[in-house]
Amino acid sequence: MILFWLAGAALAAIALALVLRPLVSRKAGEGVSRREANLSIYRDQLRELDADLAAGKLAQADHERARRELEARLLEDVSAPAQPGARRAGRGVALAAGAAIPVLAAALYLAVGSPDAIEPPAAEHAVTAQQVEAMVERLAARLRENPGEVDGWKLLGRSYMALGRFPEAAQAYASAAERAPRDAPLLADFADALAMARGQSLEGEPEKLVLRALEIDPANLKALALAGTAAFGRQDYAGAAGYWQRMLAHVPPDSEDARAIQANVQEARSLAGDAGKTRTLKGTVTLSAKLKERIAPEDTVFIFARAADGPQLPLAVKRLKARELPAAFALDDSMAMAPGMTLSAHPRVVVTARISKSGSAAPQPGDLQGASAPVANDAGAVAVVIDTVVR
């Protein structure tokens, strides 16, 4: 039975894929009503279990097993994602916050609302938010004793996400992923939780998890949405549009989801058109007089730009010889080292110049270098002075 609920929740989790700005504004009443109904059923079944135990019809061990199953079903319900929707935070940096912010609506209703208006349940069986927390903790304790239950770790991760406990959710998903490394939906959920735990940033490990999920299942909606979000966040608008466009093949063509996704694809493409105007960064590199005795004419000089806020992979690189210093330089998108990691995609950059004694691009002790302050990616008079020895 628990596997049935887990499977249902996994299908519902597809809805979390749409992580642009709210793609759909659905009515919440239907979902809340379903949860309230499930909670009513839960209370009835719990009362029946307790009655059977008191009447001697049910052994204590069987009572405990049945109660754990009921609790797992309830946790699935209150931690299940909301209706399909998505959002972009700030200036288009979206995260799968739909998985992170579902409110425990039914539990809170019973805690602070008026459940008596529906039926007068026994006070001891009213499901409060505190009881939901207790159920989650019991599940966590059981998994510490039986860590091989992949489905249990998934459920724990979803429960922690619903409670806003993102670091614990990431840890739970990590435990599940360790045991099921080729589960694409799980990897997407793991990436979402890890991003939320890191301040709503997909940069680094979360994005790697998303890309691994897409290698396993190129049609995974949540992974496609997260990949597009990561691209949008670093202003790779064409890449974002590409990922989101792929989502349209997997949603009903005349649905609100499809219309909202298409609107975001169009917005990303529009921004890509603006970003497609190649930026060129210009300036000069000079060598401090105090270091002139430390270089040889044939030493290699690397001039490169990196994002002021973002990945540290160089966005554009130029190479020349030390004998050419002082030298003017111009950096543009044709000098990018990786697709999408272009100068034009990052509005603010830092320019560094390094004299390499070994000829290697990686800094080595004894190399000489200097860097600019953060500048616009189309600045025209950047001055870089090589005045530091790499230790």
As a whole-number percent, the residues of the chain with pLDDT over 70 amount to 71
Same-domain status, 266 and 288: no
Whether 202 has a pLDDT exceeding 90, the answer reads: yes
Can you tell me the distance from the alpha carbon of 326 to that of 318, in angstroms, rounded to the nearest whole number?
Answer: 14
Residue that is last in its domain, among 274, 306, 339: 274
Same-domain status, 240 and 142: yes
Residue 18 tokens, joined: 């749409």
Q: Around 303, how many Cα atoms within 13 Å sit in the side-chain half-sphere?
A: 27
Same-domain status, 263 and 290: no
Same-domain status, 218 and 140: yes
DSSP-based three-state secondary structure for 328: strand
Same-domain status, 142 and 222: yes
Q: How many CB atoms are closer than 10 A to CB 167?
A: 13
Query: What pLDDT, in 10s, does the model give residues 131-145?
Result: 778 888 999 999 999
Domain hosting 90: range is: 2-274
The mean pLDDT of 178-187, rounded to a whole number, is: 96
What pLDDT does 340 receive?
Answer: 65
What pLDDT does 241 receive?
Answer: 87
Q: Which of 387, 373, 390 is nearest to 283 (CA)?
A: 373
Q: How many structural domains are present in the chain?
A: 2
Whether 240 has a pLDDT exceeding 80, the answer reads: yes
Same-domain status, 246 and 106: yes
Residue 91's identity, in one-letter code, is R
- CA 285 to chain CA centroid, Å, is 39
Whether 388 has a pLDDT exceeding 80, the answer reads: yes
Mean pLDDT score of the chain, rounded to an integer? 77
Whether 183 has a pLDDT exceeding 70, the answer reads: yes
Whether 19 has a pLDDT exceeding 80, the answer reads: no
The mean pLDDT of 119-130, rounded to a whole number, is: 53
Can you tell me the distance from the alpha carbon of 98 to that of 84, in angstroms, rounded to the nearest whole number?
Answer: 8
B/e letters for 51-77, b = 16+ CB within 10 Å, e = fewer, are eebeeeebeeeebeebbeebbbbbbbb
Whether 188 has a pLDDT exceeding 50, the answer reads: yes
Query: Residue length, the chain?
Result: 391
Query: What pLDDT, in 10s, does the model give residues 253-275?
Result: 889 988 989 888 888 888 877 65
B/e letters for 367-388, b = 16+ CB within 10 Å, e = fewer, are bbbbbbeebebbbeebebbbee
Residue that is last in its domain, among 228, 255, 274: 274
Beta-bridge partner residues of 348: 376
Same-domain status, 210 and 342: no
Same-domain status, 298 and 159: no
Domain holding 305: CATH number? 2.60.40
Residue that is last in its domain, among 237, 254, 274: 274
Same-domain status, 269 and 363: no
Same-domain status, 337 and 213: no
Q: How many CB atoms are closer than 10 A to CB 42?
A: 18
Can you tell me the distance from the alpha carbon of 321 to that of 359, in angstroms, rounded to the nearest whole number?
Answer: 10
Q: Residue 111's pLDDT band (boundaries 50, 70, 90)?
A: very low
Same-domain status, 249 and 360: no
Same-domain status, 63 and 190: yes
Query: What pLDDT, in 10s, does the model give residues 20-61?
Result: 333 333 333 444 455 555 656 666 676 777 777 777 767 777
**Of 30-39, 180-189, 278-287, highest mean pLDDT:** 180-189
Quick one: 99 exposed, middle or buried, by C-beta within 10 A (0-12, 13-18, 19+)? buried
Decide if 331 contacts 316 (C-beta within 8 A). yes
Would you state the torsion angle of the CA atoms of residues 50, 132, 30, 14, taken in this order, to the nearest 10 degrees? Answer: -120
Residue with the bigger pLDDT between 67 and 153: it is 153
Q: Residue 78's pLDDT band (boundaries 50, 70, 90)?
A: low
Q: How many CB atoms are closer than 10 A to CB 252?
A: 9
Domain holding 233: CATH number? 1.25.40.10
